[in-house]
Amino acid sequence: MLMCAGVERYYQIARCFRDEDLRADRQPEFTQLDVEMSFVKNDEVMDMMEDVMAEVLGACGVEHAFPLQRMEWREAMDRFGCDRPDVRFGMELVDLTDIVKDCDFKVFTGPANSGGVVKCINAKGAGDWSRGDIEKLAEVAAENGAKGMAWIAYTSDGQEKSPIIKFLGDEVHAAIKEAAGAEQGDLLLFAADTYEVASAVLAALRLRMAELLQVPREGHALLWVVNFPMFKFDEQEQKYSAEHHPFTMIREEDMDKIEDAPLECGSYSYDLIMDGFEAGGGTIRIHTADLQRRVLARLGLSESEIDEKFGHLLRALELGAPPHGGIALGLDRLVMLLAGNDSIRDVIAFPKTSSAADPMTGAPSEVSARQLKEVSLRTL
């Protein structure tokens, strides 16, 4: 609204409420530095935030090289399995899909020949783990959508242990070993599923193995992850949803794909990643009413729903809005990272529990009928 009103640039420190699941780096409310700028492109927003971060880190006595690396979203997913990679250590994902597609192991050939992927990580130093310890990792895989977890252990005394080697054949096994750079003392952990599930499984296993093996992660590492997809398909709802938010500008070369090939649409989006956490993120915004209507329609909204829910925005865009974009930085999470902690509760006053309860006041508590009436709410 301020952009449309002619306020060229502004920033605000805002108290926000979260509608996502809670975890160690999330609380029900958080503090955000919100920056909005007119007549800018994504590179200009990122350059501005790098100047800010250089001063912040300098004030904290942290040395870091600038400009920051700008990694494509797809590259982050291919290499690390997630869009907020911790690049302070390796153990990157290895794609084995083409290698295993003709082997006799159906757990691999099924996904490999039906649009899925087969990938692995090489956990160096875990090859001598007991079978029981290795199979405990299947719990991590299952929590992230896997139906099971295959593995191959190369012990330090030269043995090869695995329930799947006999199904692979010598040639395929040798190719896997070479692609993964496996040596004595290494443990390969596999995921065979859709791209999304395999990525999530190995991203989680990568972090768990780094923790269990005490892989050094010293200092701080910042980078940008850029060019997120505009749309994703929600399997539960059976419809398209926005990867970032529905007001993100679509890349110019993808404008004609909105209706017929939405999953191929990229966006002008960028996340600031620090030590494997999203420290901030932003987008260039849609600034024309016609394009905004097309995007909302692709998300499944009818014309009447669009007007009811977003009529105020569309009217503002019709009156003329400049090209604009911005970024929001999570101040609590940034303080957490600079303090060397991995829980946001350690750096904020009056933190809530994982169920969003306040131990001091006992909130949330029952709401009276009178209180509901005051805010024009009723329960069903």
> pLDDT at position 40, please?
95
Question: 279 φ, ψ to 5°?
Answer: -85, -25
Q: What share of the chain is helix, strand, coil (3-state, %, to 5)?
A: 35, 25, 40
State how far the Cα of 195 lies from the Cα of 83, in Å rounded to an integer: 13
CA quadruple 166, 168, 174, 180: dihedral sign: negative
Whether the Cβ atoms of residue 327 and residue 281 lie closer than 8 Å to each other: yes
Residue carrying the six token digits 């692979």:
168
State how far the Cα of 152 lies from the Cα of 174, in Å rounded to an integer: 12
Segment (H or E) for 292: helix 289-298
CB atoms near residue 123 (< 10 Å)? 26
Please, which residues have CB within 8 angstroms of residue 57's CB and are 6 or more apart in sequence?
A: 63, 64, 220, 338
Bridge partner list, 155: none
Which amino acid belongs to residue 171?
E
> pLDDT at position 357, please?
83
Residue-level pLDDT, tens digit, the chain, 380 residues:
788 788 899 999 998 887 666 666 677 788 999 999 999 999 999 999 999 999 999 999 999 999 999 999 999 999 999 999 999 999 999 999 999 999 999 999 999 999 999 999 999 999 999 999 999 999 999 999 999 999 999 999 999 999 999 999 999 999 999 999 999 999 999 999 999 999 999 999 999 999 999 999 989 999 999 999 999 998 888 899 999 899 999 999 999 999 999 999 999 999 999 999 999 999 999 999 999 999 999 999 999 999 999 999 999 999 889 999 999 999 999 999 999 988 888 888 888 887 778 888 888 888 898 999 999 998 88
Q: How far is CA 143 from the centre of its chain?
A: 17
Q: Give the pairing type, strands 231-234 and 160-161.
A: unpaired
> pLDDT at position 24, please?
60
First to last CA, the chain: 34
Query: Tokens representing 141?
Result: 């895989």
State how far the Cα of 36 lies from the Cα of 312, in Å rounded to an integer: 19
Query: Tokens representing 322?
Result: 């400049």
156-160 CB contacts, 8 Å cutoff, 24+ apart: 156/127, 156/128, 156/184, 156/185, 157/184, 158/184
